[in-house]
Chain A
């Protein structure tokens, strides 16, 4: 039991050294980190917002209202189609957040009515009997739309919150209808809260082809009906080639108009007519899809509500061959050429796109469409100095706790056995830090409490072993044999004791959120790694020590 094969010793030492290497980036100064490879220097433990300071918002999207709005738009289209196909109906009503109910005048027309509704949207699910037809989105479609609304809200948040590019917000989905927004280091949240519900401004404008045909990117004079708007590519180029200018544009107060940006910084721009053809509030949906006819090219399809569809139809019919610029927040994201009149409320944008580009364009379009209302349902703001106080308190508690526990172990089990247990405790801390670095976990204040608790619990395994060794020694066993038997006999109690606490820690991880998860992380990692450091690691130390000193009597 105590005679470890050489390879085991090597593996144990290797694990210890590796954990040291993984924990190392956390304490290295930045100047050293810059030289090291990225994947290595990046694996560090982040600080939770409660230690670092910052703001944390849990937002809930009002999907029901969005759905009701979409259904209202759908009811307009259904009415129009039924009229066109000459199906007499009494009424089309919206059940908020759920479905449409179509009431027919004549039961016999049911099949014809269903066909007419299918023309509007073939994916709709229809049920009901007699003269009523209940029209709802299929589960699949509903799921897709909900996901889209959340994605759209996240995209808007990302654009809004990080306008200046100096914050590093983390924006993640939480469950079906929630978004978690975390902004480290922010002091005043008033501005941030204002941005949460600001929509992106999406408008469609015709390009003034006469001005564009003249060739100059920035013409000296423009007709009064026309203004200049930078293109998205142009702005991306500017950001790459002249980051300073880009920052100035973002920081300008009051904000620069698109035309001012064009004149001052001269990115690629387009002259467009001021008149808005149709606005984002009339855009119902937009998605990336594939052209069925032409060898499944990636395309972007979009749908307007009735009012938007009518305006779009009129504008496209009169301007075939001209470009239609789509402006989002003062940038032209795309300017496709009008191929023909687009009536009936839906159309497509074609071009030489990759599937990824169409995804991005569709998302940009959607982010200008009607968004879901976001309500702050949980908020936590921690000032930087409050976080610093917490770090100080946690660190002092951790150091004092560790030193006290180490003292107790030294006194109770002497320099050799106590020393080995304390060394194992330090190795355990190293392993926890390494584990957290690899997992990319964040350290929170409760997490620090978990570390302190781990320190106290990790030496418990050594206590159990050493007490057993004392007992075996009292029974008259040799030094070698008492150590070996002590380890063997203490194992089952060690495993039981650690596993029961681990069960609690793991369930806490599943249930908890934020700082509490930090506690569950350090505690469960600490318990797991202590099974290595307190038993396997100390056994190796003792086996080396026993062979080296060959003690006749154990001082324990």
Chain B
């Protein structure tokens, strides 16, 4: 049997808050740079929020030819396209911007039709201001024929919009918004047709314009609601200075995490948002551990100055602060190293969140208490009573 190793037992007592000015400057700088980065460089929004198409393709033979693929997909007329290697050299993630239902997309639909249903097909946009599309077949078709043609192309054509008699032309009525969603499907088909011979399509994701906008709005609300709920909780449990200190630390962590997303140009998807929310929640973890001790020491050492008292509390809780962060750090490292490409953005963000959360507990939350003018004699009477009873 072995003896426990006191991993973070330091003999020396550190003067953490002696560096509070330097930390204040550093934190402010990091946050300003992060905000500037988000505003001027921008987050690399994934299709969850921006809308668009993401296709994961793997070369049937050898490695993925990114340059060739870029020129092929870029020339399809589906707007902005970005490609990146995904996990391994043979796999590539193709991202296509969200489709706006432009006449160019209708021309694309014609190419899909001609490739899949025969050269004589034509697809034309209807009158301007509507989203209508006119299909012309090389030969007159009845209802079943139209359905069959549509099925071979794989475009969802609504059956009731097809002509009832036998004709060579069908007018599909759509609103411009519906056509934009329809064009997402057209763009997927175009990419499939263009690269399907040499690449195996492993997964496709498409988010239409409508859903993208909705997710963006509700994502912002989710972040705000989470932060508000946590602040209210801390405010109920502690004196207001603690609540404000925790809030500033949390904002610091969330903003600097966004900065990391900008700096590393990580994909900001729904999973990334999950990371931001989790960091907001986890940011408080170390902070409350220290605050708990600060409150306890405020009652015990009524004569001690605030900075000394805070330094004492931070030093006393230092080993547990580092240990709790350390275990989460170790677990998240495993995710970064082995979790695969899909979780990569999430894991890197979480890793940063663990580090910055520890830093901010000491140099943002506690330093904040100094600037907020917490006084040792201002404990609430109710808190005093509770401590007296709890003392053995």
Contacts and interface: CB of A to CB of B under 8 A. Distances in A.
Interface of A: 50, 58, 60, 62, 189-191, 193-194, 196-199, 281, 370-371, 373-383, 385-386, 389-390, 393-394, 396-398, 400-402, 404-405, 408-409, 411-415, 417-418, 445-446, 449, 452-453, 455-457, 459-460, 463-464, 467, 470-471, 485, 488, 492-493, 496-497, 499-505, 507-508, 510-512, 515-516, 519-520, 523, 555-556
B331 A453 contact: yes
Contact of B330 (A394, A404, A414, A519): A404
A396 B335 CA distance: 9
Given A193-B156, A199-B159, A496-B237, A455 B331 contact: yes
B40 interface: no
Interface residues of B, number: 87
B320 A503 contact: no
B327 A409 contact: yes
Contacts of B392: 485
B333 A445 contact: no
B32 interface: no
Interface of B: 1-7, 56, 147, 150-151, 154-161, 178, 181-182, 184-185, 188, 201-208, 210-211, 218-219, 221-222, 225-226, 229-230, 233-234, 237, 270-271, 273-274, 277-278, 280-282, 284-285, 288-289, 292, 316-317, 319-320, 323-324, 326-335, 337-340, 342-343, 346-347, 350, 390, 392
B278 A504 contact: yes
B218 A511 contact: yes
A389 B330 contact: no
A501 B278 contact: yes
Nearest to B350: A453
Contacts, number: 264
A500 B340 contact: no
A401 B2 contact: no
Interface majority SS on A: helix, strand, loop or mixed?
A: helix
A463 B4 contact: no
Nearest to A382: B203
Contact of B331 (A381, A401, A445): A401
B296 to A, nearest CB: 8
B202 A393 contact: no
Nearest to A500: B284
Nearest to B116: A190
A399 to B, nearest CB: 8
Given A412-B5, A453-B331, A394 B340 contact: yes
Contacts of B221: 511
A516 B320 CA distance: 31
B284 A497 contact: yes
Contacts of B328: 453, 456-457, 460
Contacts of A520: 274
Contact of A386 (B2, B56, B184): B56
Nearest to B192: A190
7 contacts: A194-B151, A199-B159, A413-B4, A457-B282, A496-B234, A499-B233, A504-B277
A454 B295 CA distance: 28
Given A415-B1, A519-B271, A373 B178 contact: yes
A281 B316 CA distance: 78
